Structure 1
C-alpha cells in the first residue's frame, strides 16, 4: 500500500513538472529583413503554426512574441515576399533573424460575393476620407521637429561586361573583404552615403517650409561638395504625405490609397479588424491598383480605430507600373501621435528605390533613404521673415566629429554601413573610376573635363550646311579647379566651304555666392541667322535643336556675319528674384540682299545695333543653393507648380558705339507646370511683346519656326523659318503628358508602356504700318505679318517608345496656303522626332 502511494505521488509530481514546464513562457525575438537589400521588412506577419497567435514586426523589422506552450514553427509573411517557416526549439529565449526573399506576388483579386455583398473595407475607407481633413498634418497651423536622414546609393546587378573590368573586380574584392554584399552574395558597389541632422519647420497658411542643416557627413564617388549635397539630401526632400490625393516621387504623381477618388484607383481587402500595433488597435487593410500599369501603390495600411487616422503604411510601386528604368519604389512610414485631437506626424520613414540597368552593359542602382523625426512642436507662431530662406547650412556643418554622430544618431550604424565610408574613399582613388566619371559628365553636360578646363560642348563640334560646308568647332571653359571665381572660355570654328575662321571668347567673374552675383564680358565673330533672332525665352535651352540649326540650307534663313560684344551683371536680389543688366553692340553684315532707310540719311546695307537690356525674373519658391565647387548659379524649386515670370525691356541706343537706331522693346513670359492628377502633368508658356518703334525687320520679333526633324516644344513646329514677324504679339504653347491614361487599358498596347502626349501652339501678331513698309521694301524676303487670324497648330503623339523616343504628329490649322517665293507651299502636316529621358 505504501508502495502504491509512492507511485501515485511520483506520477503526480511528474505530471506537475510537465504542467509547470508547459506553462513556462517561450520568448521569441528577432528581426525580419529583405534578403537582397538587408533592409528591415516593416509590419511583417509572424504567425504561430496551428494557432491564431501571432504578431507583427515593427518599423525597424524587430518583433517580440511570447508563447505559453511549445509549438512546432512560426511562418513569416509580408506582401511582396515569399513566406518562410522557421522551426521553434524548446529553448526558453530564442532569437530568430529571418531574411525574406522578394517575389513578384501581388494581392489576389477581390472576390465579390452574392448580390448585395458590401466590401467591409469600404465602410472603413469612407470614414477615413470623412476624417481626412482633421487628420491631415497640413491642418496644423505649423509644426517643427528635429530630423535625421541617411541616404545610401549602391550599384547592383552589374553586367557581365562590367564584372570583367579590372577596376570593378578590384572594387568588389574590397567590398567582399569588408562584408559589403547582399544575402545572395551578389556584388554590391557602394557609391554614395550621407547623413544629415537638421531642424525642419512647416507653416500652413501661407504654406512655407524651412530646413536648418546643423550637421552633415557625406562621401561619394563623383560627389565632392558636401555643403551642396546636404541641401539636396536633407529632410525637405523626404516628405511623404499620403493624405494628399497624389504623392509625388521621381517626377511622377502616384495616386494615394487615401485619395478622395480611392474607389476608382484601388481594390481593398480588410485583413484584420483588431490588429494591435505598438499598443494601438488598428484596422489592417490591404490594397492594390485596379489596373497594374497605373501609377498607384500596392501594400497595406493600418488605420487607428480611435480616430480613423493613418498610423502605418507599407506601399510599393510594382514593376508592372508604367515607369521607365525603375524596378521598385517602396515607402514605409510610421506616424507619431502627439497632443490629443491633433493630427499625427511622420516619425519614421524608409524609402527604397531600385533602378534597373539602363543598358545591357551597365548596372542597376539601389537608393536607400531612412528618416527619423523627434522633438515635435506644433502650432508655433513664427516671425514674418522666418521662412525667407528655405534652406540654410550651419558654418560648422561639415565638422568631422565621430563622437557627435555617435551621440545624435537615432540608431547606430552597422559594421557594413561604417565600412561604406572607407570603401568609397578607396574606390575614388582608382584611375579608371575617375575616367568613367569624366565620361558621364561628357554625356550629361556635353563637356569633357580635363584638369582645370572642360572641353566642349560636344554637340557643337561638327555640322554641315550650304554656306560653311563642313564646320569644325573646338571650345573650352575653365572649371572650379582652375579658379572658384574666374571662368574663362573660348572657341575656334572653321568652315571648309567659306574658308572663314570664326571664334569667340568670354570672361566671367563670380562676385558673391551667398546672394549669387556674377558679371562677364564676351566677344564673338561668327555666322548668325535672322530667322533665329527671336526673343524666345526658352529655345536656346534646347541644345539639340540649336545644334541642328547649323545643318541644311541655312541661306534661306538669311545668314549674316556678326561681331558681337556683350557685358552683363546678374544678381539674386532676394529669394526667387533675379535681376540682369546687359549691354551689347553687334553688327549685321548680310550675305543676302538687305537694305533699310538709314536714319542718318540714304540707304544702308549694313546694320549696327547698340542696346541696353534689363531682365527681371521672379520664380516663387525658388531657393538658391550654396556651392563652392560649381561655378554657376544653382536654384532649386521647392514647388514645381509655381509659375515663373520673366520680363525684359530693351532700349536701342542710337549713336552709342555706332548704333544706327533708337528703339524700345517690351516682352513678358509666364511658364508653369500643372499637376492634373489622373490626367498627368501639363506645361504652358505664355509670351507677349510690344515694339512701339520703327525698326528694320531683323529687329522685329521673327517668330521661331522649325524646319528640322527635331521636335522643339519652344518653337512653332510647322511654321517655316523666317515666315512671320510681329511688333506686337501674344503666344501660348501647351503640352500635356497623359502618362498611361487610355493606353494603359488597351490590350497588347499596354505592355509597351507607351504614353500619350498632346500639344497646341497659338500665336496672335500684327505689324505697324511703318514696319510693314520696311519689310515690303525688301523684295528678296518672303517674311509676312500675321493678319487678323491667329496662327494655330495642334498635335498628338506617343512618348516612351523604347523608353526614350517620342514621335509627334502635328497639324497646321491656319495659314495652310501661305505661299512664298522662297519656300513654296507650307507643310500642313508633319512628323517630328525627339529623344527624352522620362521615368
Structure 2
C-alpha cells in the first residue's frame, strides 16, 4: 500500500477532532414512492413558487433546505401525476410521498421505465448546442488570461447524536459539541472542525497551454505550518471543468452530464425556461440510465444564445462504485462578461466521507468553496514567466495578518467558521485529543514521535527469511520539523537464525533550497534479495519485501550479504526534473551455502572468488511531469503517487582498481511508467524497461528478472518466476495493467451490489546473456544462468479488487517456459489497500 494513501486517510481521521452554519427557515425530507411502495429514484422535488429543488436518490430519499419560508413541495416524475405536498411545519423531515401513475402513461412506463428518448428530445438538442460551443466559452476565448482565486476548504464531523457526544473517546472534549447545525444538502447534523483559506493569483496562456498559480496567502485552523496537510486536502479536491467529458474525483472518472457520451448514460428532460440575470435560460434535468456507474443526478441552466452554462448542480448517485465516499455534491455559478462571455464565479464541492453508505453512519463532510474575481485578458507574459514555476516556501505567505484577509476574502466567514480557528487551538491543549492525534500520526507515518527524534518505521519491526529466520529491527530518524534542512536516519537489526547484527546509517543535507541541491551519504551492512527489480539504484537504506516477507512460496536461500557505502549529489534544475550523480562502493557475498555468487578469476577457470568488490559511479536523470509534492526541506512527500508519468535514465560506470574494485563495465538503464485515465473504461498503467551492461561481470552485477516468491502482489515483478530463474545482461520488459473500476461487474445483477472491480495484466520480458558472462559464473548448482532469449517470457493475470473494500486477489497464468526447473504455471497473490 502506498504511503500517500495512508496519509490521505490519516488526515481525514485526524480532522474528526477539529464549517459553515446555515440558519434555514424551511427544511423538508423523506421518501418518494409509487403506488406499489417501490422507491421512485431521480424524481424532481422543489418548493412551490421557487427555483430551489433537488432530485431523489437511488432509494427515493431526498432532503431540501432553504433560508426562505415556503409552505408546500411539488414532486414530479415522468409518467406520474405531479403532487403538491403542504408543509405544516418549518421542518418536515419524515415525509412519505406517493406518486400515482398517469392513466395515459401506464403503457409508457412499462416500456421506458423512466428512461427518456434519445430522439426528438428537445433537451438533447440543447445538449448538442452545448457541445458545439463549449470551446468558445469562458477563459478559452482569449489567448491569455489571469484572475484572482479565493479557496476555502472545510471539514465537518456529521451525524452528531447523544451517543457520540457521551462516548468515552470524547471525554474531556465535550465543549466542541456546543455549536452544531444541519447540512443544507443531506439534512444531517454536523460540527465544524477544520478550515483552510488560500488566495491565489492564476495566470494562463491558451496558445501554449501553460498555467501558473501563485499562492499569496494561506491560513488554517491549528495547522499553520503543515504544508503537507494543505497539499493533501488540495489533492483530494482537484480542479475540474464541467465541460470535459469526464470529471476525475478521488482517482475515479465520472461521466460529466455535459459529456459528448452523456446520452448513453444519462436521461435528459427539458424542465423549465426563464430569465436569469436578464438572460433567457433553459433548465435541463438529468439522471442516470443505469445503477452502479460513476454518474451524477441534478440539473443545469443554459443560455439560449451562447449555449453556455449559467448554473449547474451535480450529485453523485449513491450506487456509484466508490469507496469511503457516501455523497458528492457540486454547484457552479457563472456570470456574464461583456454581454456574451460566461465566466465561473463560484464553485462549491461537498463530499461525505464515511466507512459505510448507510444514512445513519457517521462521517466527515469535506467542503471546498472557490470564488473567482478580477478577471483580465490578453495581458502578454514571456515564456520565462511560466517556466519559473518552482514551489518555494515563503514564510510570510503562511503568516498574513487580519488586514490581508479582510481585503482578499471574496466572501466573509460566517460566525461559526470564525470560531473554528479558536476551537482547535483550545482542543490541542486537551490531553485526550493529544493521545488520539498521536495514535493517528503513528498509523499514518509509521513513526513514533519523540523529542526531535522519530522511532520507526514500526511496520518493519518484524520480518522473516530463510537465512536470518525471525528478524527484529529498531530504527529512527531526526525530526525537528517538516522542513528540516538536514536529516539523519539509521537502524539496527538482528537475525535469530544466523545470529548476526545488521545496520544502516544515512544522512543528507539541503545545501541550496532554490535548486534543491542535496548532499547525501551512508553505509549499510545487511542481508538483501538482489534482483527485486530490473531497474535499480544503490539506495543505502533500501530493502525489498522479498527479503523479509513472512509468507512465501517455497524456500528462499538466494540472499546476499551486502556492505554498501554511497555518496551522492543531486539537484532539481527544473521543476520535477532531478539529476543525481553518486559514487558507491559495495561488497557482495552469498548469505547461504545453498546459493553462490562465485566467479572465475583467471582465463583457465581454475581459480574462483566468492566475494565481489565494486566501485561504481552513476548519473541518474529522473523526470516526473505532473508530480505534486509537499514540504520544502531536505525530504518531501509525494502527494499524488501513482498518478503521474515517470521517466528514469541511468548511466553507470564500474571502475576496476580503486578500493580493490574487481570489474570495469558500463551499464545503461531506461524506465518509463505512465498511468492513463481512460474515462469510463478505467485506468491503464504501462511500464517499459530496457537495459544493457557492457563488459564482463559476474552474477552479482547482472540484471536479474525480478521474480516473486511471496504471496503479495508486487507491481513490477513476475509473480510466477522464482528468484534468479532468468538472468540477463541485456533486457527489454513490458508490463500492462488495466483496472476497469467495476465497469463490467456493475452490470451483472447481484454481483454489482458487491462493488467489485475487475483487473487484467500482461507481463513480458526478453533478454540475453553473453557467452563471456556465462563462462565467468563459477556456480555449479544454484543458480544456473538462463535468459529468455529465444522468445519473450510472458504471463497474464486476472484480478478482483475491492473485496470488502480493502482486499485484492490476482490469479496468475504462465504463458511459456514450462520446462524450467520447478516452473510454476499458476499462482495466486493478494494485497491490502485503502482506495477510493
- Using the size of structure 2 for normalisation, the TM-score is 0.83
1:79-118 to 2 correspondences below 5 Å: 85=86, 118=120
1:218-367 to 2 correspondences below 5 Å: 218-220=220-222, 223-227=223-227, 239-272=239-272, 274-339=273-338, 342=341, 344-357=342-355, 364-367=363-366
Q: Structure 2 CA distance, aligned partners of 1:793 and 1:393?
A: 47
Higher mean C-alpha deviation, range 319-328 or range 178-187: 178-187
1:218-617 to 2 correspondences below 5 Å: 218-220=220-222, 223-227=223-227, 239-272=239-272, 274-339=273-338, 342=341, 344-357=342-355, 364-388=363-387, 389=389, 396-481=396-481, 484-532=484-532, 534-536=534-536, 545-546=545-546, 548-549=548-549, 556-590=556-590, 591-592=592-593, 593-598=596-601, 602-617=607-622
Match of 1:168 in 2: 170
Structure 1: runs of 5 or more not aligned:
1-29, 37-43, 66-71, 89-97, 820-824
1:323 Cα shift? 0.7
Pair member with larger Rg: 1
Match of 1:15 in 2: none
1:196 Cα shift? 1.1
Q: Structure 2 CA distance, aligned partners of 1:296 and 1:256?
A: 7
1:230 Cα shift? 5.4
Match of 1:833 in 2: 830
Q: Structure 1 CA distance, aligned partners of 2:464 and 2:551?
A: 5
Is residue 808 from structure 1 mapped to residue 784 from structure 2 by the alignment?
Answer: no
| Contact kept? 1:503, 1:525, Cα under 8 Å | yes
Q: Structure 1 CA distance, aligned partners of 2:786 and 2:134?
A: 58
SS at match of 1:170: coil
Q: Structure 2 CA distance, aligned partners of 1:113 and 1:621?
A: 40
Q: Structure 1 CA distance, aligned partners of 2:473 and 2:621?
A: 33
SS at match of 2:383: coil
| Contact kept? 2:601, 2:609, Cα under 8 Å | yes
CA offsets per residue over residues 464-523 of structure 1, 9 Å max, x none?
333222211111111134992231222121122221111222222222333323222211
| Contact kept? 1:542, 1:712, Cα under 8 Å | no
Aligned match of 2:757 in 734, 738, 755?
A: 755
1:33 Cα shift? 8.1
| Contact kept? 2:26, 2:68, Cα under 8 Å | no
| Contact kept? 1:578, 1:617, Cα under 8 Å | yes
Higher mean C-alpha deviation, range 358-367 or range 108-117: 108-117
| Contact kept? 1:198, 1:235, Cα under 8 Å | no
Q: Structure 1 CA distance, aligned partners of 2:541 and 2:562?
A: 21
1:379 Cα shift? 3.4
Structure 1 residues 567 and 191: alpha-carbon distance in aligned structure 2, compared to 1, 3 A threshold: farther
1:599-748 to 2 correspondences below 5 Å: 602-622=607-627, 625-627=630-632, 631-634=634-637, 643-748=645-750
1:817 Cα shift? 1.7
Is residue 198 from structure 1 mapped to residue 215 from structure 2 by the alignment?
Answer: no
Structure 2: runs of 5 or more not aligned:
1-22, 30-43, 55-63, 78-82, 102-108
Structure 1 residues 277 and 340: alpha-carbon distance in aligned structure 2, compared to 1, 3 A threshold: closer
Number of residues of Structure 1 aligned to a counterpart in Structure 2: 769
| Contact kept? 2:553, 2:711, Cα under 8 Å | no
SS at match of 1:698: helix
Q: Structure 2 CA distance, aligned partners of 1:377 and 1:533?
A: 51
CA offsets per residue over residues 175-204 of structure 1, 9 Å max, x none?
333456769997745442111111112222
1:31 Cα shift? 6.1
CA offsets per residue over residues 248-269 of structure 1, 9 Å max, x none?
1111111011111111111111
1:780-799 to 2 correspondences below 5 Å: 780-799=782-801
Higher RCO, Cα 8 Å, sep 6+ = 2
Structure 1 residues 634 and 395: alpha-carbon distance in aligned structure 2, compared to 1, 3 A threshold: same
CA RMSD of aligned residues (A): 3.9
CA offsets per residue over residues 92-111 of structure 1, 9 Å max, x none?
xxxxxx77869999999866
Structure 1 residues 320 and 623: alpha-carbon distance in aligned structure 2, compared to 1, 3 A threshold: closer
Q: Structure 2 CA distance, aligned partners of 1:599 and 1:685?
A: 40
Higher mean C-alpha deviation, range 247-256 or range 140-149: 140-149
1:554 Cα shift? 8.9
CA offsets per residue over residues 438-482 of structure 1, 9 Å max, x none?
322322222222232222222321123332222111111111349
| Contact kept? 1:180, 1:416, Cα under 8 Å | no
CA offsets per residue over residues 758-790 of structure 1, 9 Å max, x none?
111111111112112223764442331122200
Structure 1 residues 692 and 158: alpha-carbon distance in aligned structure 2, compared to 1, 3 A threshold: farther
| Contact kept? 2:293, 2:320, Cα under 8 Å | yes
Q: Structure 1 CA distance, aligned partners of 2:806 and 2:300?
A: 35
SS at match of 1:515: coil
Higher mean C-alpha deviation, range 771-780 or range 183-192: 183-192
Aligned match of 2:773 in 771, 774, 783?
A: 771
- Using the size of structure 1 for normalisation, the TM-score is 0.83
Q: Structure 2 CA distance, aligned partners of 1:762 and 1:104?
A: 59
Q: Structure 1 CA distance, aligned partners of 2:632 and 2:28?
A: 38
Structure 1 residues 688 and 538: alpha-carbon distance in aligned structure 2, compared to 1, 3 A threshold: farther
